[in-house]
Structure 1
């Protein structure tokens, strides 16, 4: 076992954490395959953390207990599939050192998943093209053109607010014109993301009926069901008087 851990440490370096208490634990965050020249793991879309508990009689008598946790961009079915693959790998390699095989098996599978399962939080439709993905510094996924449109609108708002403060001779502590917030968590987007968005050729703002209709047609079945449910609830509340109909009330007042 010690020789296996030495080899793994030489391969994965600081990514692999080994701890010894009553049992030996191996902890590694596994990313999908990326550009071999790109050592910035944070640019990769998917990851999962593998924790292996190695019993004292491993590998001859007992297999390691492997847990997958702290994933990003994976849905439950994919995590279940990864767990099944690990179980099969442990069974096939019983009595042998198996950690490297498990790690690389997961890495290969993550790369096959490729796309995050979350819908774009701006348009609420699925992300089906890897080239149309942008991940923010706070780890949220959007269509590039959706986030670019959002950033352009926010940039205009901030410029107007900044100019208004100057015109009214208010003291401005810092230039906030580039402090564009993430639509989900409101964390300030990094300057690199902003620069990429505002100069992106994929930028387009949906501002006419045709494009809005196209957006509606592309809604996922789940979103369509949600819309129908909300519309039914709205009509129900309206019939019970829970929704104020301004036009109707105005007619009653004038009558």
Structure 2
């Protein structure tokens, strides 16, 4: 066992934590591969922590007890699959050193999963393109364009509040115009996250393209519903059932 731990430490360096308090145990946080040449673990989209408790009779008699915990971006179904794979790996390698196999098995599966299997909390649709995704400093995932639109709206709101506070001569401890909260947890978004967002011009173009794609994907039932509601709107408008606010104001002020 000691020889195996020495080899693992030489491979994973500081990522591998060895605990010798009572029974020996190890822990390592395993990340998905992320973008090519991206060595910053915090930029990886998926991760999970593997904890292995090693009995004194390992590896000759007993297998280690492995627990997967503290995951990010994984569904319950994916976690069940990982646990099942670990169980199979332990069973197939009974009586031999198995820690490296378990760690690399998890790493390979995370790379296959690739993207966090969760919806953007702003538009409520799944994120299916790595280039479209952004992870905030509080570990939430959004489409870049969705978060960019949200940030711009919040910036405008904060600017209005700031100018109103100045106008009313309210005492302010600091300039709060850049204190934009995460849509989910309300933690302040870091400037690093905001700097990664697309400009408003790019955002507008992309949004138009996304809307066109969304329209193409609409089911026939939704298209029929749109046509019926549009026809009903025109019918009500022709019969005077729709109030034209502009004409009403002209009559009032004339």
Give the TM bin, normalised by the shorter chain. 0.7 to 0.9
Q: Which residue of 1 aligns with 2:129?
A: 129
Larger radius of gyration: 2
Q: Which residue of 1 aligns with 2:248?
A: none
Shift in Å, 1:171: 2.5
How far does the alpha carbon of each residue in 1:62-87 deviate from its partner, in whole angstroms, 9 at most, with x for none? 11111111111101111111112112
Shift in Å, 1:169: 2.4
CA gap 1:98/1:213 in 2 versus in 1, 3 angstroms:
closer
Q: Which residue of 2 aligns with 1:159?
A: 159
> Which residues in structure 2 correspond to 1:42-191 (within 5 Å)?
42-191=42-191
- Tell me if the contact between 1:47 and 1:72 (Cα under 8 Å) persists in the aligned partners: yes
Provide the TM-score with structure 2 as the length reference: 0.78
CA gap 1:201/1:62 in 2 versus in 1, 3 angstroms:
farther
Partners in 2 of 1:15 and 1:21 — Cα distance? 19
- Tell me if the contact between 1:32 and 1:44 (Cα under 8 Å) persists in the aligned partners: yes
Please, what is the CA RMSD of the aligned residues?
A: 2.8
- Tell me if the contact between 2:27 and 2:50 (Cα under 8 Å) persists in the aligned partners: yes
Structure 2 gaps of 5+ residues are 220-254
Partners in 2 of 1:30 and 1:152 — Cα distance? 35
- Tell me if the contact between 2:50 and 2:69 (Cα under 8 Å) persists in the aligned partners: yes
Provide the TM-score with structure 1 as the length reference: 0.77
How far does the alpha carbon of each residue in 1:26-46 deviate from its partner, in whole angstroms, 9 at most, with x for none? 111111113464332111111
How far does the alpha carbon of each residue in 1:125-159 deviate from its partner, in whole angstroms, 9 at most, with x for none? 11111211111000001111111100011011111
CA gap 1:202/1:2 in 2 versus in 1, 3 angstroms:
farther
Q: Which residue of 1 aligns with 2:233?
A: none
Q: Any idea what SS the aligned residue of 2:197 has?
A: helix
Shift in Å, 1:214: 4.1
CA gap 1:198/1:38 in 2 versus in 1, 3 angstroms:
closer
